[in-house]
Amino acid sequence: MQDSPARRIEFWFDFGSNYSYITAMRIVPLAARYGVQVAWQPFLLGPIFKSFGWDSSPFVLQKQKGAYVWKDMVRQCEKYGLPWRQPSSFPRAAVLPSRVALLGEGAPWQDEFCRRVFALNFAQDRDIHTPEAVGGILEELGLPAGELMQAAQADPIKLKLRQQGETATAREVFGAPTFFVGSEMFWGNDRLEDALAFAAGRQPAGQP
Amino acid sequence: MQDSPARRIEFWFDFGSNYSYITAMRIVPLAARYGVQVAWQPFLLGPIFKSFGWDSSPFVLQKQKGAYVWKDMVRQCEKYGLPWRQPSSFPRAAVLPSRVALLGEGAPWQDEFCRRVFALNFAQDRDIHTPEAVGGILEELGLPAGELMQAAQADPIKLKLRQQGETATAREVFGAPTFFVGSEMFWGNDRLEDALAFAAGRQPAGQP
């Protein structure tokens, strides 16, 4: 008996990660075409980079790669039809929106909240960690902003975000976006289609 | 008056680079479909990594990324229909085959020679820097192996390989494969189609 395909993808992301932005804007309609469900998994890359001995993103630490990445983002966002403004601060701190996103697990507003946080960072070049920024998005969505932010800053959610980091470390996540289909890991927006094909039990499309 | 598209792509590669292997096996028929000419540009990544303060490939230095890359290679080679055997030594030294490849610039055997060197490394798990390895490939191609290897080890070609490294550094190359279309840089096998579309003056294909 063959295992049936998972039909579920975990999307591990940091709101400060520019390639996670591209995935966040694409994943829901694309996954629907593959018949795959998306589990949004916010986490913080900073502690993982620190564990490698880095005090920032490799796009900051490696001058040449950094310069390239911003050119690549212009082209990639054009390719995918996404708005893009290079952040004047990178990578942006994302503790508060990550906690709110975790609080929204299973709620109908979670994915739209995440997309709006990403858009604030990468389409509007605005900070995403302040109560004003996060509260503003929650209000736009017609949600009780004050109440949700209070719950997001309480111990259970604080603990949950720390546990996300521990899980990411245990699963050898080294960047974002990272996808899991069962235990199978895929790294980078460039692997999104492959990961969805795997989740759907299809062959990935590759031009020889 | 608009510039006409370049219709030429420079493919910068190191014979020790596993993602360059995938590109090397795909680029000629794919570029033909876009009506684009390929200029093979061998260079050595080692000195570039050294200039970043690294004494090896990031796939060796970063344990988690390294572990992932070998899983990714299995999947990518399956996707593209390429044979794959994980090299028991990585990254392999490639001075001699790089010099021979430079000597072959403009010759009808250059691209097939390059593909066979890559196949030796990544499909057969064999060293590629010895006179036996390189000479064997040249003989398979019906070429005067001794004569070519002697010319490849003479000063003009030695100098040319050093100049390739200087050019790569000046153009801020930080990994391989790297593509140039005019001054526009694209990094990684995952960007091959985008680079070819750019060279052909077409829009790249992106699923929103």
ipTM value of the model? 0.92
Letter for the amino acid at A187?
Answer: W
Q: How far apart are the first and last CA of chain B?
A: 32
Q: Cβ contacts (< 8 Å) between A31 and chain B: which residues?
A: none
CA distance A90 to chain B (A): 20
Q: Cβ contacts (< 8 Å) between B72 and chain A: which residues?
A: 186-187, 191
The pLDDT value recorded for residue A4 is 56
Give which of A127, A171, A131, A172 is closest to A149, Cα–Cα. A131
Cβ distance of A75 and B194 shorter than 8 Å: yes
Cβ distance of B174 and A30 shorter than 8 Å: no
The residue whose two tokens read 């993982």 is A48
pLDDT per position as a tens digit, A9-66: 999 999 999 999 999 999 999 999 999 999 999 999 999 999 998 988 888 888 999 9
Q: Which band of pLDDT confidence, cut at 50, 70 and 90, is reported for residue A207? A: low
Under a CB-based contact definition with an 8 Å cutoff, are residues A28 and A38 in contact?
Answer: yes
Give me the residues of A, 47-66, that contact B with CB < 8 A.
52, 62, 64-65
Q: What angle do CA A154, A90, A16 make, to 5 degrees?
A: 45
B188: tokens are 């990684």
Q: Rounded to an integer, what distance in angstroms lies between the CA atom of residue B146 and that of residue B206?
A: 48
Q: Which band of pLDDT confidence, cut at 50, 70 and 90, is reported for residue B1? A: very low
Helix H or strand E encompassing B185: strand B184-187
Cβ distance of A208 and B64 shorter than 8 Å: no
Cβ distance of B81 and A208 shorter than 8 Å: yes
By C-alpha distance, the chain A residue nearest B73 is A186
- Indicate the length of chain A as a whole number: 208
As a whole-number percent, the residues of chain B with pLDDT over 90 amount to 88
Beta-bridge partners for B150 = none
Strand order in the sheet with A184-187: A37-42, A8-13, A178-181, A184-187
Residue A71 contacts B, CB cutoff 8 Å: yes
pLDDT per position as a tens digit, B31-41: 999 999 999 99
The packing angle between helices B131-140 and B95-103, to 10°, is 30
Cβ distance of A174 and B79 shorter than 8 Å: no
